[in-house]
Amino acid sequence: MVPTDGHFVPYDPKTQPSGAIKPNGRVFILKFLSSSQRYLFYLQSKPQGRTGNPNWFSPRDLKIGDIVDKLLQGEEVDVARELASINNSSNDDRHGNDNDETMEDVESHGGASDPHGGSGGAGAGATGGDVRDEGEGAREGGADGGRAAASGTSDAATAVRNFLNSLNRGSQVEQKLYPLLSDLLTPPVTVPMARQATEEQVDNLLSFLPPSVLVLSQQADEGDTTAEPTAAAIEAAKEAMSLGQKKALLEKVLRSPQFHQSLASLTMAIRDGGLPSIADALSVPVEHGGYLKGSQMPLGGGDAVEAFVEGVKKSVQKK
């Protein structure tokens, strides 16, 4: 996974709308900045609250979640030392004896094709169903991720490692780091290309700009310019511009925040499964049509962006 893209946070029913369903257990949510996917993880260890509230997170529960979140940010964490600093018995809402069962294997309910929508984590709108049903398969005896036998001496660091291993087994995670298109097409790369382009190449690039940009560049001082320009106005604007003016306009566009925001948006669309349709629309030949070899699952993450860039390179080389 790309550092800082994922966050592992406890699900807090108090922050959800009044109609949201409350889970019967302690749930952590794995969510991403780069997509709307949500994965829910039930803690398999016994609740430690004195009142028996199944939703109550002990300091140790929260610490394990905090450790996982720090690891996802790319931080170096001394797991044993972090866990040794926790004193559950100092909380008033727990029994005097620590009968916690260390979870030895926790797995996501569902695989990579189980995206859960919504920006607020769990709840009926986020899971597409009753959140209390999440993880039921893992709770059944003998199922993968089922509760391990209680062991008071188990090392909690093992729980964290097993959790991270379960992510690798059960989720489609980022396997390749690859730059954003906005990182590849920076002004030091694009501006010299525009300055050295022939008039034919410049006209070709101008044809991809919104027509209003061309017209506005020639009519900045003329009254109302909010109307959609006509074909005649567009051609007149092109004819009125010298080669130097055309190159200056291209350079202005290539340096604009809007251009780089658009590149970033295109990158996110490619990373999130849009490679097949985007490559087809742009006539960019990508390997296996933008799908994983032998399946109908689109490439994602850095692999998808790399496949798109390689497809562009091969297309240019072929021409």
**Looking at the predicted structure, is the pLDDT value of residue 311 above 90?**
yes
Cβ atoms 88, 50 nearer than 8 A: no
Report pLDDT for 132: 43
Tokens of 261: 């925001």
Report the distance separating Cα 287 and Cα 79, nearest Å: 42
Per-residue model confidence as pLDDT tens digits over 89-134: 544 444 444 444 444 443 434 443 344 444 344 443 433 444 444 4
Residue with the larger pLDDT of the pair 307 and 96 = 307
The pLDDT of residue 192 = 93
Q: What is the pLDDT at residue 217? A: 72
**Composition of the chain by helix, strand, coil, percent to 5:** 50, 5, 45
The per-residue pLDDT for 84 is 86
Whether the predicted pLDDT of 181 surpasses 80: yes
Length of the chain: 319
Element (H, E) at 179: none
Lowest-confidence segment of 73-82, 120-129, 182-191 by average pLDDT? 120-129
Amino acid, res. 239:
E
Query: CA 319 to CA 247: how far, in whole Å?
Result: 24
pTM flag (> 0.75): no
Q: Measured over all CA atoms, what is the biggest interatomic distance in the chain, rounded to whole angstroms?
A: 85
| Paired sense of beta strands 6-10 and 38-42, if any | unpaired
Assign 175 a pLDDT band (cuts: 50, 70, 90).
Answer: low
Sorting pLDDT into bands at 50, 70 and 90, what band is 292? confident
Measure Cα distances from 169 to 105, 118, 316 in Å.
12, 24, 38
Distances in whole angstroms, Cα of residue 241 to Cα of each of 36, 206, 214, 216? 45, 11, 9, 12
Closest of 42, 25, 35, 5 to residue 115, by C-alpha: 35
DSSP state of 88: G
Contact 70, 1 (CB under 8 A): no
Find out whether 155 and 144 touch, Cβ atoms under 8 Å: no
Q: Between 276 and 23, where is the model more confident?
A: 276
User: For the residues of 104-165, what is the DSSP string, one character each?
Assistant: -----SS-TT-----SS-SSHHHHSS-GGGTTHHHHSTTSTTPPPPP-TT--HHHHHHHHHH
Q: What is the pLDDT confidence band of residue 27, given thresholds at 50, 70 and 90? A: very high
- pLDDT tens by residue, 245-264: 889 999 999 998 888 888 98
Residues of the chain above pLDDT 90, percent:
20
> Can you tell me the distance from the alpha carbon of 280 to that of 270, in angstroms, rounded to the nearest whole number?
12
Neighbours of 173 (CB within 10 A): 17
CB atoms within 10 A of CB 178: 20
Place of tokens 């409350």: 22
- Quote the CA–CA distance of 208 and 93 in Å, as a whole number: 64
